[in-house]
């Protein structure tokens, strides 16, 4: 299966689901779609750039400083205006979830700690539980994506970033990791990949 075919399948799986049954953008005034910085964006997964053969005017795709695997630079998608929803990158489609690979190589889903500053769903997952259909669709998408070694390498590298973010959150928000509890992390996990 080509990367384009893979991402088309994954986009299709995620096309009709959202983190809440209602519009979660009402809670935060669509904070995840508004960047405070001109160069902030979402990482593209390896090969995902094939989904943008003609980059729309509202989107820039550039190499970032972050690398994975054999020092491959990760591409970042930067929106300059409101996006076309059907063209949004995978990272936007799964937000505020992220795939995470632990040190034993087990892949699961978790709420992305990088989402905490902007997303009430990430800050208060018990108050705003994610829709089960959304979580199931993201899980199904990553069962497909996990078959690609390049994507697994990327997820492993991003997992290191997540570990660092959680250390920083715990340092500057005492008790952060302790207060998250099993309901907030464990409820997201679906299966071993």
What CA–CA distance (Å, rounded) separates 18 from 16? 7
Q: Is residue 44 part of a domain?
A: yes
Q: Is residue 173 part of a domain?
A: yes
In this structure, is residue 87 part of a structural domain?
Answer: yes
105 domain-assigned? yes
Establish if 190 belongs to a structural domain: no
pLDDT < 50: residue spans in the chain: 179, 181-193
Residue closest to 7 by CA, chosen among 108, 90, 109: 90
pTM of the model: 0.84
What pLDDT score was predicted for residue 59?
A: 87
Q: In what order do the strands lie in the sheet with 42-43?
A: 42-43, 72-79, 59-68
- End-to-end CA distance of the chain, in Å? 18
- Tens digit of pLDDT for each residue in 24-50? 877 776 766 766 566 678 999 999 999
What is the rounded CA–CA span in Å between residue 165 and residue 117?
11
Instruction: Give the model's pLDDT for residue 184.
Output: 39
DSSP-assigned beta bridge partners for residue 79 = 59
* Host domain of residue 13: 3-185
Predicted pLDDT of residue 38: 61
Q: Which residue has the tokens 């054999």?
A: 70
pLDDT at 34: 67
35 assigned to some structural domain: yes
Question: Is residue 192 a part of any domain in this protein?
Answer: no
In a domain, 193, yes or no: no
Count how many domains the chain has: 1
Is residue 60 packed enough to be buried (19+ CB in 10 Å), middle (13-18) or exposed (0-12)?
middle
Model pLDDT, residue 36: 58
């Amino acid at each position: 299966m080509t990367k384009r075919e893979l991402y088309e399948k994954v986009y299709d799986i995620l096309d009709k689901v959202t983190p809440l049954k209602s519009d979660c953008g009402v809670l935060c005034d669509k904070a995840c779609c508004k960047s405070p910085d001109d160069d902030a964006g979402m990482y593209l997964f390896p090969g995902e750039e094939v989904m943008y053969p003609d980059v729309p005017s509202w989107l820039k795709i550039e190499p970032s400083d972050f690398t994975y695997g054999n020092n491959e630079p990760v591409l970042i998608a930067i929106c300059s205006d409101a996006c076309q929803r059907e063209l949004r990158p995978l990272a936007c489609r799964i937000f505020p979830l992220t795939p995470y690979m632990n040190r034993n190589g087990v892949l699961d889903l978790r709420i992305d700690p990088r989402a905490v500053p902007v997303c009430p769903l990430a800050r208060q997952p018990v108050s705003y539980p994610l829709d089960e259909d959304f979580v199931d669709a993201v899980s199904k998408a990553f069962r497909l994506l996990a078959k690609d070694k390049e994507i697994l390498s990327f997820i492993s590298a991003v997992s290191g970033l997540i570990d660092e973010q959680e250390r920083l959150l715990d340092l500057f928000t005492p008790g952060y990791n302790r207060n998250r509890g099993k309901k907030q992390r464990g409820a997201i996990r679906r299966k071993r990949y």
